[in-house]
Amino acid sequence: MDFLELCKGRRSTRRFSEAEVPAEIIEKIVEAGIWAPSGHNEQSWFFSVVRDKSLQETLNLKTKALMKESPVSWIAQKGADERFHLFYHAPAIIVVSGKISAYSAIIDCSAATQNMLLMAHALGIGGCWIGLINAYLNLPESKELLSIPEGYQGFYAIALGYPEPEIIAKAPQRKPDVIRWL
């Protein structure tokens, strides 16, 4: 697939089938993250792959409880919505953490996340970047629950699974006038 077409075709998936994603495919997706660029080549990321449904539900409930307390109204509303599931019931989640002492951990982890989302799309797997989990990842208990090493901080997650075939997300219009040639 042409790389630009791959980029244009990737969409956030929020409706997943119940089919499990094979470990070999998740490993390829994580490998794409590992090959992302990083500041000073620190490779400051760490990935926690969560396939256990009860752990996913714990993460969902703990994060939503924190979201309910948010001063941002739409986040508080999402947290209070019993129908909203943080991971959209995806069969797999990858929590992305970065080394706190790294020069550019959050940027490094963002590059790794984008690589993983593009690889997932190339393999026919849907993905959604989940930033709202950050409220829970800021708590020390999250590190133990997700086996995040000492000196690392969780930033966000990726929900992964086979997309429901009848749902075809349309590309939003791109903003004009974002390039200036000098």
Long-range (24+ apart) CB contacts under 8 A made by 147-152 are 147/48, 148/46, 148/48, 148/95, 148/97, 149/46, 149/97, 151/99, 151/100, 151/101, 152/46, 152/97, 152/98, 152/99, 152/100
Residue 52 structure tokens: 């256990």
Q: What is the pLDDT of residues 146-168, one digit of tens each?
A: 999 999 999 999 999 999 876 66
| pLDDT at residue 168 in the model | 67
- Tens-place pLDDT, residues 9-64: 899 999 999 999 999 999 999 999 999 999 999 999 999 999 999 999 999 999 99
Is the pTM for the entire model greater than 0.85?
yes
Quick check: helix, strand or coil at residue 181? coil
Compute the average pLDDT of residues 128-151: 96
3-state DSSP helix/strand/coil % of the chain, to nearest 5: 40, 20, 40
What is the fold of 15-161? NADH Oxidase (3.40.109)
Q: pLDDT by residue (tens digit) across 65-87?
A: 999 999 999 999 999 999 999 99
- 176, two tokens: 């004009």
137 vs 70, 155, 175, CA distance in Å? 15, 7, 32
pLDDT at site 144: 95
In the block, tokens 């077409």 appear at: 5
Q: How many CA atoms lie within 13 A of 111 on its CB side?
A: 15
Over residues 95-103, mean pLDDT: 97
Domain ranges across the chain: 15-161
According to the model, what pLDDT value does residue 174 have? 85
What does the pLDDT read at residue 167? 67
SS (H, E, C) 127-145: EEEECCCHHHHCCHHHHHH
Single-letter residue type at 7: C
Residue with tokens 């992305």: 96
* The predicted structure's pLDDT at residue 176: 87
DSSP E strands, 7-62: 45-50
pLDDT of residue 28: 98
Q: CA torsion 91→50→156→63, rounded to 10°?
A: 80
